[in-house]
Amino acid sequence: MASLKALKLRIGSVKSTQKITKAMKMVAAAKLRRAQSNAEAGRPYSERMASVVASLASRVTPGPHSPKLLAGTGKDETHLIVLATGDRGLAGAFNTNIVRAARKKAQELEADGKKVIFYIVGRKGRPVIARFYPKAIASQYDTSAMKAPAYANAQEIADDIIDRFESGQFDVAHLAYANFRSTLLQEPTVDQIIPVKPGAASATPAGGAASPAVEYEPDEEEILKALLPKNVAIQIYRALLENAAGFYGSQMTAMDNATRNAGDMINKLSIKYNRQRQAAITTELVEIISGAEAL
């Protein structure tokens, strides 16, 4: 049985841990609000972009001259998984879930006989992937220096990925991130970003179908050429924003749980402490009384 002093120390340390988790929860809540409004502000752009690309893509029949980003390289051998995770831990299973989704995808692809390589964005994905696929990490992008994801960062990542695509390092690219549904629910998602999925194009015939006689300046192919790289950038940007919001949401929940657990633990330890203290007093009393009787 632990001594009174040890119990007291233990209670003290749990209390200070609770203070830290409580503070982290509050910080996460404040940051979540900002990240969430950022994510919401970014949505109109990506939605419009998606509908424009979809309506354009449905117009252009993929041929030998159409942009590679739309038609693909014609092969389906090497797959790139862009793994976007947070930079920090202490956020419950947030990072683990994204990595798990990416690994599941990788296993599926490998089962089909494809080669899988990884492009890592954010710090937390690297160790796991490095353990399971030590030779498959193509590159990584360090996001730890930035406070909130900026479009410029997404563009850099997209440019790098597109360069690799153009030089034939891979044929298909997927993006793994966590879709921010709510504070309590972040959904790990793996989306195909290169080439543009034909399924997505036919599923959302937004502006295209309603207005058949659209005039294009310059022609469709030229617009697509300008648009597709932007589309990749915007998808990555959206993933970064969703991740940021999801991360803080997850951290808030995790820290809330931790605070509550610490509270429970303090209660239990206090009860134990009080009992022991009482027992010590009782023993002492018994000793004194029996001593007095002996006289």
Partner 1 sequence: MADLHFELVTPERLVRSEDVYMVVVPGVEGEFGAMAGHAPVMTVLKDGAVKVYKTAGSQPESINVSGGFAEVNDAGLTVLAESAEG
Query: Facing residues of 174 across strands?
Result: 81, 192
| Of positions 2, 16, 33, 48, contacts partner 1 by CB under 8 A | 48
| Of positions 170, 180, 237, 247, contacts partner 1 by CB under 8 A | 237
| Of positions 1, 44, 64, 112, contacts partner 1 by CB under 8 A | 44
Tokens of 169: 């390092």
- Pick out residues in 154-173 that bind partner 1 (CB under 8 A): 154-155
| Of positions 56, 101, 254, 255, contacts partner 1 by CB under 8 A | 56
x-or-dash string of contact with partner 1, 195-234, rule CB under 8 A: ------------x--xx-xxxxxx---xx--xx--x---x
Task: Say if residues 69 and 196 touch (Cβ distance below 8 Å).
Answer: yes
Q: How far is the CB of 49 from partner 1 (least distance, A)?
A: 6
- Alpha-carbon span 25 to 260, nearest angstrom: 11
Angle at 180 between CA 84 and CA 42, to 5 degrees: 85
Q: How far is the CB of 189 from partner 1 (least distance, A)?
A: 19
Angle at 189 between CA 131 and CA 59, to 5 degrees: 125
DSSP state at residue 193: E
Residue placing its CB nearer to partner 1 in the complex, 17 or 46:
46
- Pick out residues in 109-148 that bind partner 1 (CB under 8 A): none
Say which residue the tokens 């502006």 belong to.
207
- Alpha-carbon span 160 to 83, nearest angstrom: 14
| Of positions 151, 189, 192, 273, contacts partner 1 by CB under 8 A | 151
Q: Which residues neighbour 239 within 8 Å (Cβ) at sequence distance 6 or greater?
A: 84, 175, 177
Q: How far is the CB of 16 from partner 1 (least distance, A)?
A: 39
Residue 188 within binding range of partner 1, rule CB under 8 A: no
Separation in Å, CA 94 to CA 21, 53, 252, 253 = 17, 31, 11, 11
- Taking CB under 8 A as the binding criterion, the range among 46-54, 255-263, 265-273, 277-285 that sits at the site for partner 1 is 46-54
Residue placing its CB nearer to partner 1 in the complex, 163 or 219:
219
Residue 161 half-sphere exposure toward CB, CA atoms < 13 A: 35
Q: Contact positions toward partner 1, by CB under 8 A?
A: 38, 41-42, 44-46, 48-49, 52, 56, 151, 154-155, 207, 210-211, 213-218, 222-223, 226-227, 230, 234, 237
